[in-house]
Amino acid sequence: METSNDGYIPVLIQLIVAGGFVAGTLWITHILGPNRKSAKKLETFECGIEPQGNARLPFSIKYFLTAILFVLFDVEVIFFYPWATNFREFGTQGFVSMGIFVSLFLLGFLYLRKKQAFKWE
């Protein structure tokens, strides 16, 4: 098998363009843009309410938890579509594999239920 590096030259060009765009944009904005530094400029929000207190606050993660669990179980479903369309070709072995996959997910679901991850109150 004869291989050469020619096929990868577009990749190299793309790398140079991507890197050059970032460096170039930074450089040009630095040159063109006005440069004023003051205490007000360096605040988190330049205009609007003044930030107060520490960022390390306890906050409710209920929504976050529900959202991430939804994503987890939603992605699982995606694996079913290719399996379902090729169900006959996969035969018994495919069925067993999918059964193992689903039962592992079911175990995770039972664990989350037991840990009360779905309780909103």
Q: Residue 107 gets which letter from DSSP?
A: H
Q: How far is the CB of 57 from another protein (least distance, A)?
A: 14
Is residue 2 close enough to count as binding another protein by CB under 8 A? Answer: yes
Q: How far is the CB of 50 from another protein (least distance, A)?
A: 26
Is residue 5 close enough to count as binding another protein by CB under 8 A? Answer: yes
**Residue closer to another protein, measured from CB, 30 or 114:** 114
46 in helix, strand or coil? coil
Q: How far is the CB of 104 from another protein (least distance, A)?
A: 8
Stretch that binds another protein, among 4-12, 16-24, 25-33, 35-43 (CB under 8 A): 4-12
Q: Cα torsion for 95, 99, 101, 104, to the nearest 10°? A: -170
Token pair recorded at residue 27: 């450089």
Is residue 4 close enough to count as binding another protein by CB under 8 A? Answer: yes
Distances (CA, A) of 52 to 39, 44, 45, 101: 16, 11, 11, 48
- Site of tokens 């072995």: 93
Positions that interact with another protein (CB under 8 A): 1-5, 8, 104, 107, 110-111, 114-115
